[in-house]
């Protein structure tokens, strides 16, 4: 009986949090006028989420592309079609790996930092102090961080894909010796701008919204203790990673099947 009650309580609290999160999302959208008017706030957040994530995104993009080049060559060599290496590397990066892996890295690099920052602000009662001074913390603190993340994410994903393709080029063409002309020309022949690249950008945009939303919500909703903040940071990474993968499946089902 107690187990049943516990289960019910857990489910209701999840649903309660989901509803609260949705209301919070609307509040961010309503208050985002301030973050656009005071663009400096948003620019500061783009610096902290976007610019400081550059190194990890570029380095991991390069390595992912290099691994794709090696593995792809190994498999394609069996069918004697190593010229298709460029197609394999670019399509898998632009369609899937670029947006998804960049978003996962972004969630753990920038999302957790946002949650910890807002959570600490709450724990040290800075948010309450703002309210005392008639400054809306959602407009002043939350919305700029949200938009900073949403703007940074597609740019980071594009950088990840470009860097990965460069990594695939380095390994495939420079190291192994696939023909350079067919590497690029086959890639250009089979990667479509609207179908592949634009859909990838849309994906990374959606992931940016998900990660930023989860991060600011968990921070804002954190228990105002050191323990609560650490728990919220963990939840940000777990929840946003799962949400990214689930959303990726749904978006892929919409974009790349049919026709």
Q: Which one-letter DSSP state was computed for residue 52?
A: G
In terms of CB distance, is 152 or 240 closer to another protein?
A: 152
Binding another protein by CB under 8 A: which of 41, 155, 206, 222? 155
User: Could you say which of 24, 31, 41, 46 contacts another protein (CB under 8 A)?
Assistant: 46
For position 81 contacting another protein by CB under 8 A, the verdict is: yes
Q: Does 256 bind another protein (CB under 8 A)?
A: no
CB of 177 to another protein, least distance (A): 21
Task: Look at residues 105, 102, 87, 100 and name the one whose alpha carbon lies nearest to residue 168.
Answer: 87
CA dist 256 and 251 (Å) reads 8
CB 228 to another protein: min, Å: 30
Nearest to 107 by CA among 21, 202, 236, 219: 236
> Distance between CA atoms of 3 and 9, rounded to whole angstroms?
10
Rule CB under 8 A: say whether 165 interacts with another protein: yes
CB 96 within 8 A of CB 221: no
Q: Which string of x and - marks every residue 14-43 that binds another protein (by CB under 8 A)? A: --------------------------x--x
Residues 198-237 binding another protein (CB under 8 A) are 201
CA atoms within 13 A on the CB side of 2: 0
Measure Cα distances from 77 to 83, 87, 208 in Å: 9, 14, 37
Give the binding site for another protein (CB under 8 A): 40, 43-44, 46-47, 50-51, 54, 79, 81, 90, 94, 152, 154-156, 158-159, 161-163, 165, 184, 187-189, 191-193, 196-197, 201, 259
């Amino acid at each position: 009986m107690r187990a049943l009650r516990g289960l019910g309580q857990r489910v209701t609290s999840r649903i309660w949090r989901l509803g609260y999160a949705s209301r919070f999302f609307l509040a961010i959208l309503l208050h985002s006028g301030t973050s656009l008017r005071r663009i400096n706030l948003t620019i500061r957040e783009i610096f902290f989420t976007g610019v400081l994530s550059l190194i990890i995104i570029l380095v991991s993009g390069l390595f992912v592309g290099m691994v794709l080049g090696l593995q792809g060559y190994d498999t394609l060599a069996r069918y004697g079609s190593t010229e298709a290496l460029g197609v394999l590397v670019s399509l898998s990066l632009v369609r899937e790996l670029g947006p998804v892996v960049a978003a996962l890295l972004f969630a753990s690099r920038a999302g957790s930092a946002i949650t910890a920052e807002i959570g600490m602000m709450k724990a040290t009662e800075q948010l309450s102090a703002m309210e005392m001074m008639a400054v809306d913390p959602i407009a002043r603190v939350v919305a700029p961080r949200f938009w900073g993340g949403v703007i940074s994410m597609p740019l980071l994903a594009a950088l990840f894909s470009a860097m990965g393709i460069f990594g695939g080029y380095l390994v495939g063409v420079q190291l192994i010796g696939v023909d350079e002309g067919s590497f690029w020309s086959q890639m250009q022949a089979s990667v479509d701008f609207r179908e592949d690249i634009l859909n990838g950008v849309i994906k990374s945009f959606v992931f940016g919204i998900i990660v930023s939303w989860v991060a600011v919500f968990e921070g804002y909703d954190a228990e105002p203790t050191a323990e609560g903040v650490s728990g919220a940071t963990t939840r940000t990474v777990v929840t946003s990673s799962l949400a990214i993968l689930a959303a990726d499946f749904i978006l892929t089902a919409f974009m790349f099947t049919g026709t």
